[in-house]
Chain A
Amino acid sequence: MINYKKINVWYLSSFIISIIVAIPIITVFTSFFETTSNYSAILKNTFLYEYIFNSIFLLIGVLILTFFIGVGCAYVVSFYKFPGVNFFKWALILSFAIPAYIYAYSLTAFFENFGTAFTILKNIFGDGDYNSFIPKFDGILGAIISISFSLFGYVYVLTRASFHYQSQNLIELGKNLGFSKRKSFFKIILPSARPAIVAGLSLVAMETLSDFGSVSFFGLSTLTTGIYNAWISFDDLTLANRLAFYLLIFILGLFVLENFSRKKAQYHSPSKSGYKSKSLVPLKGKKSLLAFSFCFLVFFISFLFPVLQMLYWTIIFPKHLVDLNITELFLNTMLLVFLSCCLLISLALISNYGNRVSKSKFLEYLTTFSVSGYAIPGIILAVAFITFVSWFDNAVVSFFELNSIKSIFIGSILGLIFVYFIRFYSLACNGIKSGYLKINYSIDESSYLLGYSKFKTFSKIHLPYLKNSIFLIGILIAIEIIKELPITLIMRPFNFETFATTAYIFASQDLLEAAAAPSLFLILISSGFILVTSKYIIKD
């Protein structure tokens, strides 16, 4: 299987990186060879079906909602011209800045008894029993709404890119065949954007199934909280890993199903010559108002609403803002962002180049396998890492009578960065890979034939070409790390806080108004990063 002639420094580097990233997946898989506690039997007879039912129900709800919001917005801004269309094109991606758990805080804060909605009504209409008819978004409904409005951006961005690159020829072909606008949409436009929509929904599905912050806030029992309970409450790591494995299989099943249904159909124009840019249809009157209202409503609900809610609380409870050590939280967050970006991008570049140079199928499969760990919830990654370090410390380090390495990797910045690396490696690796896919292999060959070594080809040809991709991936990693919660909570050093952990700690103590200020800063910093990249995200 391994062609030994292909082994060189690049190959070995790529191999080692993939193995490290694959450790949690292997750990999850090995749980089947270990015994579980009694909790396993209890769980099977009690809550397991509730976990599975809630997870599936949550997943279906989120997928339906994100599909309609994401595809709807992408369609309207890609095919029509109306007031504000250029603003909405990038403004709609600002929802990426709102983590689902912060959305959940806002939703609860606004609609709860005597919450913000109550205050607004009271200020306008005077005293009254408004609580009885203000809707309550908690439980599974709250989780579906919070996660959907926080994640629909994935579907929106990918579908919009696909619509953007859809050739006018394709649409004109539909007209030529006598298709109505409705028929063109369902027979041509939507099917040809299918891979992008599915890719977006897949990301949404993975994020939903591994969501911890919002489901735990709403007290919803899902597989993720089940994993957390198995580990924290019952100290049964094996069972936690098994549940994670089911989760992984479930997600992989979705991928396989989609691949089978697609068969060999091609969804993109194979050549540049077939592409003709689209002319946008100008909307007037009611239609224009309808398009504007739809986009504004989505923008308002997904971004302005949580921002305004957090801002409102920050203003009316200034004490919490004064108590907050903003500089320290900011520096801590940025330190994690900087270190993670450097590590992730460097290693993703090395791994991708190793794959490219060695042209090894084995290495390619190994890399694909290792990046599937993206579907593993952050909690499991952190736990698997702690388990692995403990085992290594007991089995290997002790054997050689060396000093314990636990304190180096557990409860330290190094350990935290390491788990971030495993969690977000697929983001970096796939991002660099998609950049590399645009570089024809004959470019490398041209470089070799001009006397450039493999390293020089990498540094002089590839790196300058990939600089935009690297920049974009760096920003995406930064946004993810700023928002990341469970890994940071578990792995961070003592007394080391970020905006995310501070917000969570206050929220978990039912001090939502105190969580507002760190949440607001988190949103502002993420939004800043998103604005920097908006032109790339919109384009690609």
Chain B
Amino acid sequence: MSKNFLEINNVTFAASDKNKVSNVSLNIENEGDIICLLGPSGIGKTTILRTIAGLEKIQAGSIVLKNKIISSKDMHIEPEKRNISLSFQDNCLFPHYNVIQNIEFGASRNAKKKKDLSIEEVVKFLHLEHVVNKFPHEISSGEAQRASLARSLLSKPDLLLLDEPLSNIDQSFKEEIQVKLKKILNELKITTIIVTHDSYEAFYLGSKCGIILNSQLRQYDDPYNVYHFPNSVEVVNFLNRGILIPAKVTGENSLENQDLGTIKGNFMKRYPKGSHVQLLLQPEDLEHDDKSNLKLEVVDRKFRGTNFIYTLKTLSNLLIPVFVHSHHIHQHEVDEKFGIKRPINIDHIVCF
């Protein structure tokens, strides 16, 4: 008997020959856990959700929910009998019912279950008060998406599947909704799988993140590890936060790069002294120091509100991103020189 809440055992999710994710195995251990699936567009993330929901069948492997096989080659429980709710990315409200009637469709499911959440509460937290009597064609795509989310939340499913739930929502509401959504999901212990292409959203909402690349689940881990300890070059490139630079291992805790000099830190994996590696260098790994003698040329500067991201060019033409707090008094213009604090210390060194 399985102790996991959800088990996906060696399943290939395929909507077509091109659009498939092969041999996926992952577990959700506890009821109420939230996991996020990240990956580029068209990779098959939605197909995974549709298959778990029962809208697609599988040819091999099995999906087990609460110790019961819901999908396998020989067994397919119909979607309406799974008590799994899927909130689609596109507006899937019933066009001939108004917003509140659509939401009530969700609330009427499992109506006998103890009511932890009222329609009014959900409508309020998703800022839908002003559109409850409108029809789907009269509201914006963001409002429709929130209404669809409300309907799914109120249906009290065993497993909630959210496909890009906040993609059409205004930036002004987005963070507030993220916070409240996470709070509600945790309080009601609704086990949730969220598909998103926004890594910040995934890192915030998910207790675990799955990275889907090249038709495979490449990494399934908690967000901190996914960010700091990516397990492949593909994951590094997908997250697009840092760069890989050539370096030579010079000791147990050090490496050497011809432009940046010595870099110290704890290796996450042992490499023989003298071996040549690709070092993952992330924007927060380097510190700005005007007095340093290691000066690099600024080729670009992006203002991101809380910080600047400088792109620096080394002598061997590597382009390195560096974060600087936006309150930093001394701003550097393009073509100016930018000092890097030496020696460079990185908490955990990730190489490939």
A32 close to B (CB within 8 Å): no
Chain B residue with Cβ nearest A466: B96
Contacts of B333 in A (CB 8 A): none
* Beta-carbon contact of B79 and A449 below 8 Å: yes
Main SS of chain B's interface residues? loop
Among B83, B84, B94, B110, the residue within 8 A (CB) of A461 is B94
Among A440, A443, A445, A464, the residue within 8 A (CB) of B79 is A445
Complex Cα distance A448/B94, Å? Answer: 12
* Beta-carbon contact of B96 and A448 below 8 Å: no
A285 close to B (CB within 8 Å): no
Given A445-B55, A445-B86, A452 contacting B80 (CB threshold 8 A): yes
Chain B residue with Cβ nearest A464: B96
Complex Cα distance A451/B78, Å? Answer: 10
Given A443-B95, A464-B96, A465-B96, A449 contacting B53 (CB threshold 8 A): yes
* Beta-carbon contact of A446 and B109 below 8 Å: no
A45 close to B (CB within 8 Å): no
A169 close to B (CB within 8 Å): no
Complex Cα distance A443/B91, Å? Answer: 9
A442 close to B (CB within 8 Å): yes
Given A442-B88, A445-B79, A445-B86, A450 contacting B105 (CB threshold 8 A): yes
Complex Cα distance A470/B88, Å? Answer: 29
Contacts of B85 in A (CB 8 A): 449-450
Complex Cα distance A448/B85, Å? Answer: 9
* Beta-carbon contact of B80 and A443 below 8 Å: no
Chain B residue with Cβ nearest A457: B80
Among B80, B90, B95, the residue within 8 A (CB) of A451 is B80
- From 52 to 77 in chain B, residues with beta carbon under 8 angstroms from any chain A beta carbon are 53-55
B233 close to A (CB within 8 Å): no
Size of the A side of the interface (Cβ < 8 Å), in residues, is: 17
Most buried by B among A440, A445, A464: A445
A269 close to B (CB within 8 Å): no
* Beta-carbon contact of A451 and B94 below 8 Å: no
A398 close to B (CB within 8 Å): no
Contacts of B96 in A (CB 8 A): 464-465
Among B80, B94, B95, the residue within 8 A (CB) of A449 is B80
B254 close to A (CB within 8 Å): no
* Beta-carbon contact of B78 and A465 below 8 Å: no
* Beta-carbon contact of A450 and B155 below 8 Å: yes
- From 12 to 34 in chain A, residues with beta carbon under 8 angstroms from any chain B beta carbon are none
Complex Cα distance A452/B78, Å? Answer: 10
B208 close to A (CB within 8 Å): no
* Beta-carbon contact of B109 and A442 below 8 Å: no
Complex Cα distance A174/B81, Å? Answer: 54
Complex Cα distance A197/B148, Å? Answer: 39
B106 close to A (CB within 8 Å): yes
A259 close to B (CB within 8 Å): no
A453 close to B (CB within 8 Å): yes
B268 close to A (CB within 8 Å): no
- 7 closest Cβ contacts across the A-B interface? A448-B79, A446-B92, A448-B80, A465-B96, A451-B109, A442-B92, A449-B86
Name A's B-contacting residues (CB within 8 A).
439-440, 442-443, 445-454, 461, 464-465
- 16 A-B pairs besides A443-B95, A445-B88, A446-B94 with CB distance below 8 A are A440-B92, A442-B90, A443-B94, A445-B86, A445-B92, A446-B88, A446-B92, A448-B54, A448-B80, A449-B53, A449-B85, A450-B85, A450-B109, A450-B151, A464-B97, A465-B96
